[in-house]
Structure 1
């Protein structure tokens, strides 16, 4: 049995001093098929790692909605889930700061590319695709 520690000694149980993630606009997840179809019929930009589909909802909501798809062309369930996890992490890293409020974004996985592409390349792909989608049409 260990003796009790004296006051002022020992390890503090406080959480480490990690700053909270900066979120300029709230992210919501697309879950309904009609929302995915509306995004698919709007702007799209292909990249080496995935396809980005984006649309302006033209509503009063400031939330950014994002969806992820990976068809059976990607491979079995393990590869599809891995592709969606990677796309979710890319979106979580960049969309809060670079997405426009009131927009829907859908990231569509590409066979072989989404799973095997370097993560930093996926981040650069999303930045490039966002610039391209928002530049078109002056929106």
Structure 2
């Protein structure tokens, strides 16, 4: 993928380095239902959105963690084009109920977390 996106479209890439995940860990986060979403503005004006996914051993074994990350990837693929802010890195972290959560509720969790994080960034700081 490249930085140049067609007008009106954003480019979505995956976070690849541990340092990128650690930088997002210091950023504001929002926990909703079965997920936690962290969002770190990069400070550039590109139409690029980067996203990473994490599931800890508390979720279960490797099979369960991979299934949880697949569900979160699909939720991100469906929601980020509409609700993500360009120039922001996101990390979506699985919580305990992510595997048993109905698909519609999982989508709602991710969507409401993205909306809340965008509103917090847009709110004036006092």
Shorter-chain TM-score range: 0.7 to 0.9
Q: Within 1, Cα distance between the matches of 2:122 and 2:32? A: 21
1:24–1:97 CA contact under 8 A, matched in 2: no
Tell me the matched-pair count: 116
Query: Is the radius of gyration larger for structure 1 or structure 2?
Result: 1
Structure 2, unpaired ranges of 5+: 1-7
Please show how residues 1-139 of structure 1 align to structure 2 within 5 Å.
24-111=9-96, 113-138=97-122
Deviation of the 1:60 alpha carbon: 3.5
Deviation of the 1:61 alpha carbon: 2.6
The TM-score normalised by the length of structure 1 is 0.79
1:25–1:97 CA contact under 8 A, matched in 2: no
Structure 1, unpaired ranges of 5+: 1-22
